[in-house]
Amino acid sequence: MKINFIDLQAQYKKYEKEINSEVLEVFASAQFIGGEKLNSLEKNLAVYTGAKHAIGCSSGTDALLLALMALDVGVGDEVITTPFTFIATAEVVALLGAKSVFVDIDEESYNIDPSKIEAAITKKTKAIIPVSLYGQCADMKAINDIAKKHNITVIEDACQSFGATYRGKKSCNLSTISCTSFFPSKPLGAYGDGGAIFTDNDELATKMRMLLNHGQNERYKHKYIGINGRLDAVQAAILNVKLKHFEEEVRLRDEIGSRYSDLLEDADVITPNIADGNTSVYAQYSIRVKNREAMVEKLSALGVPTAVHYPVPLHMQEAFKDLGYNIGDFPISELVSKEIMSLPMSAYLSEAEQDFVVQAIKG
């Protein structure tokens, strides 16, 4: 059996007519940047998440960068986040000349451990970026409470959690600013790069809209130093189609994720722990195994693709050596990075495929 890690072709087949017709409309209109498709996507994203403002941008990375720029984060500032994430979360901090201060993760959720945040706060702390990893939100209430007490802004890195809920509220509407990614393999994926920023704050929204368009408030009037961080109309058109069907995909992902966990209950692996009151979109369905290399090889020999998110925590990356961290500083991140592996996952994984993956793991 040939199994895809993520089946984007099956998804395209399903929405092919709608996507083609939307994209052809953009071609015919020649409105490639901004315009009606983008406006309509932004409205739909705001309605979907419940956030007052949804702002399309060029990627999840740029969404995070723009959020920090809007808060004037720069040289001398510190930003708290976790070392167990994709590099983009901390990369943007470094690009602005600020310093990432890492806090270890919770061993159940793999998200930042709120009980360890206060010890990392200093006078220089400007923001906290909790990452809602694998599609499950971080403990946003606990994090927001701490941030409020210390007058720090919270930016949810929701690049993997668009569609997830936390205590009945949608990811991307749980903190002052939220950032998501529409990279093709994310739960809501474009056909290229894309992202969005969410906020209820009018001033921040206006500023981020300017920042992503070279800091302009009108053409050739530049109030800020910004970037070219726009989302193009073709991507917006495609995302609009996929967003229409997204709630159904979220339901399927939840079913498939839960089914994996049921089937793997008696296997010698640790399955995802979804906290009470949370739903996950399973951007990744990731399990922990004691001898990962052997498991990866065994599955690969049977034609089951896997991936590791993420094998090296950020404090152990050469790019961050100047932060001065050592091996052993974040023991839970280090442990999980040695044991974690992701299984094939998409709304289109069939029961037969899933059974095959499970049998391969158990066999």
Phi, psi of 67 (to 5 degrees): -60, -45
Q: How far apart are CA 317 and CA 83, in angstroms?
A: 10
Q: Is 164 in the site for ligand PLP (CB under 6 A)?
A: no
Which window, 22-30, 155-163, 246-254, 270-278, contacts ligand PLP (CB under 6 A)?
Answer: 155-163
Q: Is 86 in the site for ligand PLP (CB under 6 A)?
A: yes
Q: Tell me which of 85, 125, 165, 271 binds ligand PLP, using CB under 6 A.
A: 85
Q: Which residues fall within 8 angstroms of residue 136, CB to CB, at 6 or more apart? A: 109, 111, 161, 164, 272, 274, 275, 278, 280
Residue 222's DSSP bridge partners are 216
Q: What is the sign of the dihedral through the CA atoms of 105, 109, 111 and 113?
A: negative
Quote the least distance from Cβ 193 to ligand PLP, whole Å. Answer: 6
Phi, psi of 105 (to 5 degrees): -90, 165
Q: Tell me which of 89, 136, 278, 286 binds ligand PLP, using CB under 6 A.
A: 89
How many residues of this chain interact with ligand PLP, rule: CB under 6 A? 15
Q: How far apart are CA 336 and CA 71, in angstroms?
A: 32
Q: Tell me which of 11, 82, 160, 342 binds ligand PLP, using CB under 6 A.
A: 160
Q: Is 137 in the site for ligand PLP (CB under 6 A)?
A: no
Quote the least distance from Cβ 81 to ligand PLP, whole Å. Answer: 10
Q: Is 178 in the site for ligand PLP (CB under 6 A)?
A: no
Which window, 59-67, 75-83, 196-204, 238-246, contacts ligand PLP (CB under 6 A)?
Answer: 59-67
Q: Is 171 in the site for ligand PLP (CB under 6 A)?
A: no
Q: How far apart are CA 300 and CA 22, in angstroms?
A: 38
Q: Is 183 in the site for ligand PLP (CB under 6 A)?
A: yes
Choose among 137, 69, 73: nearest CA to 101: 73
Binding site for ligand PLP (CB under 6 A): 59-61, 85-86, 88-89, 131, 157, 159-160, 181, 183, 193, 195
